[in-house]
A = this chain, B = another copy of it.
Amino acid sequence: MSENISPFHSQRTSYEPRLPKALQGYARVEEVEGSVAVSDPDVQKLFPQTFEGKMVKLVPGDKPATTEPLTIGVVLSGGPAPGGHNAIAGLYDALKKIHPDSRLLGFLNGPIGVIQGDYIELSDELIQKHRNTGGFDIIGSGRDKIESAEDIDRCARALSTLGCKALVVIGGDDSNTNAAILAEELKARNSEIQVIGLPKTIDGDMRNEIIETSFGFDTAAKTYANLVANIARDARSARKYTHIIKLMGRAASHVALEVALQVHPNLTIISEEVEKRGLTLDQVVEQIVDVIVRRASADKNYGVIVIPEGLLEFLADFKELLKELSLMMKEHEEVLHAFHSDEDVRQFVNRHLTAESAKVYGSLPDSIQHTLLKPDKHGNIPVSHIETDVLLMDLVKLRLDELTQLGQFKGTFSPITHFFGYEGRCVPPSNFDAEYCYALGYAAVSLITAGLTGFTVYGQNMMASPEDWVMGGVPVTSMINMELRKGKMKPVIKKALVELEGKPFKAFAAARDNWIVEDDYHFVGPIQYYGPADLADARTLTLTYERS
How far does the Cβ of A135 sit from chain B's closest Cβ, in whole Å?
Answer: 4
Give the distance in Å from the alpha carbon of A523 to the alpha carbon of B12 in the complex: 11
For residue A451, which residues in chain B have a CB less than 8 angstroms away from its CB?
none
Q: Is the CB of A227 within 8 A of B423?
A: yes
A284 close to chain B: CB less than 8 A = no
Q: Which chain B residues border A524 with CB–CB below 8 Å?
A: 6, 8-9
Stretch from A285-293, A322-330, A425-433 at the B interface? A425-433
Residue of B at shortest CB range from A5?
Answer: B522
Chain A interfacial residues counted at CB < 8 A: 61
In the complex, whether A1 has a CB less than 8 A from a CB of chain B is yes
A538 vs chain B, min Cβ distance (A): 7
User: A134 touching B422 by the CB < 8 A rule?
Assistant: no
Q: Which of A404-438 contact B (CB under 8 A)?
A: 416, 418, 422-428
Please encode chain A, from 69 to 103, with 1 for each CB lying within 8 Å of some chain B CB and 0 for all others: 00000000001100000000000000000000000
Task: Name the B residues within 8 Å of A11 (CB-CB).
Answer: 531-532, 534-535
Interface-central residue, A8, A140, A416, by most chain B CB under 10 Å: A8
A388 within 8 A of B: no
B9:A230 contact, CB within 8 angstroms: no
The answer to whether A426 and B237 touch across the interface, beta carbons within 8 angstroms, is yes
User: Would A233 and B1 count as touching, CB distance under 8 A?
Assistant: no
* Cβ–Cβ contact B6 & A79, under 8 A: no
Could you tell me if B233 and A134 are in contact, using CB atoms closer than 8 angstroms?
yes
Task: Flag if A12 contacts B530 (CB, 8 Å).
Answer: no
User: CB-CB < 8 A to A133: which residues of B?
Assistant: 233, 523
Complex contact A9–B238 (CB within 8 A): no
Cα–Cα distance between A494 and B135 once the two chains are bound (Å): 42
Is A528 part of the contact surface with B, judged by Cβ < 8 Å?
yes
* A163 proximal to B (CB < 8 A): no
Copies in the complex: 2
Selected from B140, B523, B526, the residue in CB contact (under 8 A) with A9 is: B523
Q: A9-B523, A227-B423, A522-B9 are in contact. Are A135 and B530 (CB under 8 A)?
A: no
A31 within 8 A of B: no
Which of B237, B530, B541 has a CB less than 8 Å from the CB of A141? B237
A354 contacts B by Cβ under 8 Å: no
Query: Complex Cα distance A486/B237, Å?
Result: 30
By a CB distance below 8 angstroms, the chain B residues around A9 are 522-525
Is the CB–CB distance between A526 and B526 below 8 Å? Answer: yes
Verify if A295 is at the interface (C-beta below 8 Å from B). Answer: no
Cβ–Cβ contact A530 & B527, under 8 A = no
Contact A528 B529 (CB under 8 A): yes
A109 to B239, CA, bound (A): 9
- The verdict on A7 contacting chain B, using a C-beta distance below 8 Å, is yes
Indicate whether A525 sits within 8 Å of B135 (C-beta atoms), given known contacts A422-B416, A534-B7.
Answer: no
* Closest 8 pairs (CB-CB, A-B): A530-B531, A8-B525, A526-B526, A233-B426, A135-B233, A136-B237, A80-B237, A234-B426
Other than A11-B535, A230-B427, give 13 A-B pairs with Cβ distance below 8 A: A6-B262, A6-B524, A6-B525, A7-B534, A9-B524, A9-B525, A11-B531, A12-B525, A80-B233, A133-B233, A234-B426, A528-B528, A530-B531
Query: Would you mind naming 22 contact pairs between A and B with Cβ atoms under 8 Å apart?
Result: A6-B523, A7-B534, A7-B535, A7-B538, A9-B522, A11-B532, A11-B534, A80-B233, A80-B238, A134-B233, A134-B523, A135-B523, A227-B423, A230-B425, A230-B426, A230-B427, A231-B423, A231-B426, A233-B426, A525-B529, A526-B526, A528-B528
